[in-house]
Amino acid sequence: MIHKTLYHYLRKECEALDTAHQKLQTRPHNPAAVHEQRVGVKKLRAFFALVQHIPDFSFRYNRYLNKLRFLQNIAGISRDAQLQARALTVHEKRGNWRFAYARLLLQERQALAAELMVAASKRLKLGSFTALPEQFRESLAAVDAQHLAKKLLEQVENNFRGIRPPAGRAGHIAWHGVRKQVKEVYYQLTILKEVFPEDPKYAYMLNFSKKAGELLGRWHDSSELYLFVSSTIRKARREQLPVPAKAVKLQEALKQETQQQLALCASHLRSVQTAF
């Protein structure tokens, strides 16, 4: 069962990543395809991070990881700009105004991301990913199923126990690291969901990490917009451009919103210490 579970997951995600990559070759601005590619990369990286703990198992995947890191960096630029533009639109409509200078910077960033996406599509070929699942299945065949499932479940449980809020007055970078950690654990739990033993702790871990990811995702979007608005205001002032009063108010509101969301994230993450 565990062999089939891992194989089918890898095949599904490789196919999904290739589909998204093909879409972006013709439409590099496609928001849905950018999102699919970025999530697909994260899922595959979580998969590789999990299977590296299989004992007595040799499978060379570093060259695939290099491609995934490259794709993730390109998709990240595009996706972040898209999300910031969408979030900024909501605030602008709410206050009936337009932050023109910020819009210009976002347009430039999206144009750059599109150029990089086109270049990446020409340079990076994902054909090798189509053979990856079969290679993986052949390499895994000799590994005992019972021992394999036990080892991977233990590893994910250890990873889950390592989820903690950063100590002290941690900033965006530290919390972003926690967010990546939570996402990886959640993806790994979804990989192994079909082989969960009849123990409620596994369902708890899955639900906890899912909620943690959602809370951290909302914080991240607000924090990224706050950082972008703050940076834009500083640039405008350096260039002696007028800064709308509503932009300063937005900056203050986003700072408060980010702090409130961060408090919710910290509270949720701390709750695992008493419940698990």
Q: What are the pLDDT digits (tens) for 205-221?
A: 999 999 999 999 999 99
Whole-angstrom Cα distance, residue 114 to residue 118? 6
Whole-angstrom Cα distance, residue 42 to residue 188? 11
Question: How does 16-42 read in b/e, with b if 16+ C-beta sit within 10 Å?
Answer: bbbebbebbeeebebeebbbbbbbbbb
What's the chain's average pLDDT? Answer: 89
The angle at the Cα of 69, spanning 24 to 10, to the nearest 5 degrees, equals 80
- Please, are residues 46 and 188 in contact by the beta-carbon 8 Å criterion? yes
Residue 223 class from Cβ within 10 Å (0-12 exposed, 13-18 middle, 19+ buried)? buried
Name the amino acid, one letter, at 26.
T
More confident residue, 67 or 127: 67
**Structure-token pair, residue 187:** 């993806």
Whole-angstrom Cα distance, residue 132 to residue 47? 13
Q: What is the CATH number of domain 2-271?
A: 1.40.20.10
Whole-angstrom Cα distance, residue 68 to residue 185? 18
**Structure-token pair, residue 206:** 């899955």
pLDDT of 275 reads 52
**Structure-token pair, residue 151:** 């080892």
Whole-angstrom Cα distance, residue 108 to residue 85? 12
Name the amino acid, one letter, at 56.
D
pLDDT tens digit sequence for 26-43: 887 788 888 888 898 899
> What ranges do the domains of the chain cover?
2-271
Q: Is the pLDDT of residue 276 over 70?
A: no
Whole-angstrom Cα distance, residue 221 to residue 232? 16
Whole-angstrom Cα distance, residue 226 to residue 220? 10
| Three-state DSSP state, 141 | coil
Whole-angstrom Cα distance, residue 222 to residue 78? 17
Whole-angstrom Cα distance, residue 112 to residue 194? 41
Q: Is the pLDDT of residue 193 over 70?
A: yes
pTM recorded for the entire structure: 0.91
Mean per-residue pLDDT, 193-215: 94
